Each structure stands twice: as C-alpha cells, then as structure tokens.
Amino acid sequence: MQPDFSRPVLAVDTSTSFLSLALQTADGLFVRHTEAGSRQSELVLPQIAGLFAEAGAGAADLAAVVYAQGPGAFTGLRIGLGVAQGLAAPFGVPLVGVPCLDAAAYLVRGRGVLAAADARMGEVFYAWFDTEHRRRLSPYCVGRAAEIAAPAGVAFSDGIGNAFALPDPPPFAGSPAMPAAADYLRLAQTGDYPACDAAEASLLYVRDKIALTAAEQAARKASGAA
C-alpha cells in the first residue's frame, strides 16, 4: 500500500557531502540543504527538528519518510537510513527508498539519459534512463568513467550527475548537477517506488568491495598507466 501523500512526508538525502532535507505538508514545502562534509550525523537531527518546528509537524504526523537508497557515499547512506528508521519505527510510519541515480536522472528529460555519480577510487556509479517514458534502460553499475557506453539501441540525449565534474568524466556531455531531498520526495510521490516497514528498509549497494588492498591499488594504477 502506498502512503497517503496528502499527509506530511519527510525526505532525507545524505548520499553526498550535502545534508539535504525536505518536508512536504499541507502548508507547503520546507527545505534544508547544507554543505555538511563529515558532519552529517551531527547536523541531521537538529536540522530535522528545525524543519518540524517551522512546519508545525512532528514524526508522529508523517505519512512516510523518503530516503536516498544509494548508490552513494557509504557512511552517509547508512546515516540517512538509520535516521529514517529511527523516526519512522516508533510510529509505524513506512519508508520509501529512492535510488540516487534515479533522482539524478529525473532532473532532465530525455530518452537516453546517463546519470553518473562519483564513486571514488577512480570509479563512477552510473545507469541509463528513458525519463520521458519513466524507464531505466540498464542495471546500476560501477566502473571507470571512460569505459561507459550506451546500451545497444540507445541514443545518448543528456548526462547528469557530479561525475561530469571529475577530472576524468564520462565520455559524454553532461551537467554536474545533483538532486536534493525535494527531488527524492517528488519521485516518491509518483508511486513508482514501493513503501516498506522501517525494519525492512535497505540500501542499494552496487560496489561489493568498499576498499581495495594495497596490492589491488597498485595493480589498478599499473593497468591505468599501461
């Protein structure tokens, strides 16, 4: 069952160095978007409390909590999910996870949209979308930007995501813009992303390994220089 989006809904995005929050109520949209760096865990609860105070709402009033599901910054994603679960579980509020690449892709409109985000370690997270017809055209992937190719039969139309600001960006034109919490909230309201109990909410991991050994790092550098 989808949440009743006529009631207040909170969205939390901690997938990048920004702490982004959005609270939709009958009185309007209340937002926070702050460059937090490594202070996500320190700032997130006070900023949510500030949003609730501004909007005259509380966790018990929420119809749902929307969260950035990944892929993205590993620690940030875990902070966001933990906060979302902590707010939702005591009141039986459902969670709605929206993949980060989806939120980026739907910032633009096209039939061959490449959403690509910095994955560190010389790699990017990416996926292809037809945002005109609301379809994802590829799996969620991680790899070197230079190796990204369009799926068979897909003509590139636009690129979006902070991977396009990297020194070695994908071999396509694109904007480095990234979504904010309000964009996640808007996608959740389409009903395309299922709601679940707080205890069942999960993150979308694309990279199996979070860190490379020294030998693996040396081998990667050697292959890149070859």
> According to the model, what pLDDT value does residue 211 have?
42
Model pLDDT for residues 195-209, shown as the tens digit of each residue = 999 999 999 999 764
Mean pLDDT (whole number) for 110-135 = 97
Q: Are 59 and 9 in contact (CB under 8 A)?
A: no
Model pLDDT for residues 130-185, shown as the tens digit of each residue = 999 999 999 999 999 999 999 999 999 999 999 999 999 999 999 999 999 999 99
Alpha-carbon dihedral 80, 26, 57, 186, rounded to 10 degrees: 0
Q: Return the bridge partners of 175, or none.
A: 160
The structural domains of the chain, with segments of one domain joined by +, span: 9-99+179-200, 108-165
Q: What percent of the chain stands above pLDDT 70?
A: 91
> According to the model, what pLDDT value does residue 222 have?
56
> According to the model, what pLDDT value does residue 210 have?
45
Q: Which CATH architecture has domain 9-99+179-200?
A: 2-Layer Sandwich (3.30)
Helix, strand, or coil (residue 62): coil
* Helix, strand, coil percent values for the chain (each to nearest 5): 30, 25, 45
Model pLDDT for residues 22-55, shown as the tens digit of each residue = 999 999 999 999 999 889 999 999 999 999 999 9
